[in-house]
A and B are shown apart, each in its own frame.
Chain A
Amino acid sequence: MLKAVQGETMDRRDFIKVVSTAGSGFVLGFYIPYTNKLNGKTVAPIIFEPNAWIKVKSDNMVQIIVAKSEMGQGVLTSLPMIIAEEMDLDWSKIIVEKAPADQKKYGWQMTGGSNSVSGGYNKLRQAGATAREMFVMAAAQEWGILSSECKTHNGIVIHESTGRELSYGDLAKKASLQKVPKNPKLKAKQDFSIIGQNVKRTDTLPKVNGTAQFALDVQLDGMLYATVVHSPVFGGKLKSFNEASVNDISGVTNIFEIENGLAIVTQNTWAALKAKKQIEINWDEGEAAGLDSEKIRKDLLDASKEKGGVVRKEGNVKKALKLSENQIEAIYESPLQAHATMEPMNCTAYVQREKCQVWAGTQDPNGARKIASKITGLSKKQVEVNVTFLGGGFGRRAFNDFVKEAVEISNEMKKPVKLTWSREEDMQHDYYRPPSLHVMKGAFDQNNKLSVWKHRITAPSILFSQIVKMPFPFKEKVDIIAVEGAKHLPYKIPNIQVDYQMTKTLIPLGWWRSVYNSQNAFANECFMDELAEKVEKDPVQFRLELLPKSSRDTGVIKMVAEKSGWDQFKNGPNYQGISCHKSFGTWVAQVARVSVENKKVKVHEVFCAVDCGIVINPAIVKAQISSAIIYGLSATLKSKITIKNGRVAQYNFDDFEVIRMNEAPKIHIYLTESDAQPKGVGEPGLPPIAPAVVNAVYAATGNRIRELPIKLS
């Protein structure tokens, strides 16, 4: 991988300049001229490129490449921090660059599963340490001394006994000639000076001055605009359309069928959105036309009567149930959810004879490259996928349906085309969080100790219906993703059975922030509250008694109870509820404080303890957890997707309501000290919020809510 590069013309699309802002240290700003012309600027030559992630320039600036998509979670800051730490860089001399799709060079580029930091940590530390060691070797050679006599600090190698210094820029050429060390020495945690700091985000400035480039902001010379109308009923096919019905709209240039529906190509976005509303289309609605939410619910309930694939079995549930005289059963239900990212789906594509360029806010750049290559017949090398900023992802942009459409349209037009979906198409053609139904059963022995836990999850499978498309009924009885957080119940109970009943669906399903953890935590932790009440125990105490004293679950529950003053809190006028859930390697416990007035729930405060292992950037971790709490609160209190006649019944933010500022609680987040490997933070804040709020609502009203979003009658 070692190579010395002689110079570089600034023809890349990600030209980044460094901006210093008073009072807030150095902020790295992005300036990305999305034109199809070279801007002719040159930058200092790259002298030393020890691996795919690092480029050292002659002017001491170091470019750090980030091969994950920035959708708000802070990867453009946290991933460079890891490299800079091990490389001993001067943070103010870093340029962050977004990688284009290139699986060969960067490996797995899919952004999801809260794994950018956890999956990249060791690899990026290694990359930084390798480079650092090569600078040390170069300096030692220059001074004729041993490497062990050298120290590094802020991009400089120092020979302590003589006080001599050489900067990385000065050493770059010599460093590029060194042998790549196989096992560079990594820092001990106590020596970290960047990791663990509240380093400012590198992408804030362009996001506050309007220059941040989202896919929707791409502008190319001679560009056409387009929108797509999809069959309102899932799986429906286009029968016919009346082109004359949009004759009065100026700027409409072409209307044609594509695989996903009807493409309308225009000279500006407004003409496309107007024509989309007005055009007369006949659809062959297909088998989903009879589908509605009531039927979906009944199908889940029917399926839940039979045993599914068992994913966890301990002790003898049957026998223990027979012996118990104190048992309860409850059914929990969660609906379909839309992602509703702020930026509607969109993509710009330019298909030419020998190449295809794509600008997309995608979580899966290599998937986008593959699709574009398939549609155009061009090789993957001829397809360039530029990943812009993403106006929200939450799992939605892991699917490249909008990329496919843009490439198909540009392939037909042979011109650059910007495809923009209306909000209504975005709401009605999502890959939805699946609906689920959870049958819970718990029993106590004669000493009132919890002796049985049964959880049957009934839900369609994202994996087998969407990703690995298989004819139903699937041979696989178990989808390990669907049981995440249910199989891994942390409580020590002698008899446990968790099984999964997979159902069929015609609705497109996808990964929604924290995926099935959102539903399994709701069922688990609300049912725990019911069980605690059954034996008249405090919910915190009840949980702690079922957990090993030294476990990390215990750690976060104790922390949140202490910080929130759980024991001292007096119910009324506000009421409290607790929950705890581990997902994506991270433990999170939350206490919610709510009040209920006129059957309306107000969440006033949320206390939250987080154990995600080593914290790379505390400010970013807290921002992510807070974000997940508010995202989850929308699904707890307000939003759901319902189906009527095979169509989504919601269109926009008036019927798919989400939390707004006046409804956002005060959030207090506490991070544990830990030496464990860093784990996910983008999603784990979400699962505990619904049960914490629902349990608090019970404390306030005596109403057990078992269906989301909360509706008090």
Chain B
Amino acid sequence: MSEFSLIINGEQRTVNVDSDTPLLWVIRDTLGYTGTKFGCGRGLCGACTIHLDGEATRSCVTSIDMVEDNSEITTIEGLSEDNPHPIQQAWLEEDVPQCGYCQSGQIMTASALLKRNPNPDETDIDSAMKMNICRCGTYPQIKKAIFSAANNAQSSTGGDDG
């Protein structure tokens, strides 16, 4: 067991875990943020996606000793402070989820995409989102929600509709 300190959803935390423990299990079992899901354990399905210093990261294959001290981790619980993040708002408007299990991961991947590329085209969306599996097949609804979040962000910041 070793001690690690990290910043999760803006909060400084210290954990005592085996150094090969994937972030996923530190987040879920040790810190109790259960919104991040276990799907495959091998970085194949994206259910465990979090933001590590703003980058979409598969937490099930990222062991805690690979993470630099005081790295910033954001989970679905910390994506927005009070109001829903534009991506979550779009998900609500489209009623995207079915079973819902993969949706935290989908939202984390999509929000990282929009941060990097505020106006993605269909190919950009496909290539970012193909990392995340949804067995309910909500892909059409997810795509629609990402476009709508991108458009909303553009119009609310006064950007052109492009």
Report which A residues bind B (CB closer than 8 A): 21, 23-24, 27, 70-74, 200-201, 203-214, 216-217, 219, 225, 250-251, 268-271, 273-274, 340-344, 389-394, 420, 422-424, 619, 623-624, 626-631, 633, 652-654, 658-664, 666-667
Contact = CB atoms under 8 A, between A and B. Distances in A.
A176 B100 CA distance: 38
B7 to A, nearest CB: 18
Contacts of B93: 23-24
B37 A342 contact: yes
A631 B135 contact: yes
A38 B40 CA distance: 34
Contacts of B17: 268, 270
A201 B127 CA distance: 29
Interface stretch (B21-29, B65-73, B154-162): B21-29
Contact of A209 (B76, B99, B135, B141): B76
A208 B139 contact: no
B133 interface: yes
Interface centre among B22, B88, B135 (most CB of A within 10 A): B135
Nearest to B131: A660
A658 B38 CA distance: 17
B135 A21 contact: no
A576 B41 CA distance: 39
Given A214-B101, A269-B25, A342-B37, A660 B130 contact: yes
A520 to B, nearest CB: 22
A390 B133 contact: no
B95 A623 contact: yes
A658 B45 CA distance: 10
B137 to A, nearest CB: 3
Contact of A210 (B20, B34, B102): B34
27 contacts: A208-B84, A208-B103, A210-B35, A210-B75, A225-B29, A250-B18, A268-B30, A269-B29, A269-B38, A270-B22, A270-B25, A273-B41, A274-B20, A341-B135, A342-B37, A342-B45, A342-B102, A342-B133, A422-B41, A423-B39, A624-B98, A626-B137, A653-B133, A659-B137, A661-B125, A661-B130, A661-B143
Interface in B103-157: 103-104, 107, 125-127, 129-130, 132-143
A559 B138 CA distance: 24
A217 B36 CA distance: 9
A210 B137 contact: no
B4 interface: no
Given A268-B25, A342-B99, A394-B135, A219 B34 contact: yes
Given A208-B103, A392-B101, A661-B125, A21 B84 contact: yes
A653 B95 contact: no
A658 B100 contact: no
B13 interface: no
A72 B21 contact: no
A668 to B, nearest CB: 10
A204 B92 contact: yes
Contacts of A70: 99
A666 B130 CA distance: 16
B8 interface: no
Which 9 pairs, one residue from A and one from B, show the smallest C-beta to C-beta distance? A210-B35, A630-B137, A391-B101, A72-B98, A207-B100, A72-B99, A210-B76, A217-B34, A662-B126
Given A210-B33, A631-B137, A344 B39 contact: yes
Contacts of A210: 33-36, 75-77, 104
Contact of B140 (A212, A344, A626, A660): A626
A207 B99 CA distance: 8
A550 to B, nearest CB: 33
Given A391-B37, A661-B125, A203 B142 contact: no
B96 interface: yes
B92 A27 contact: yes
A654 B84 contact: no
Nearest to B104: A210
Nearest to A623: B98
Contacts of A666: 140
A268 B138 contact: no
A340 B45 CA distance: 11
B5 to A, nearest CB: 19
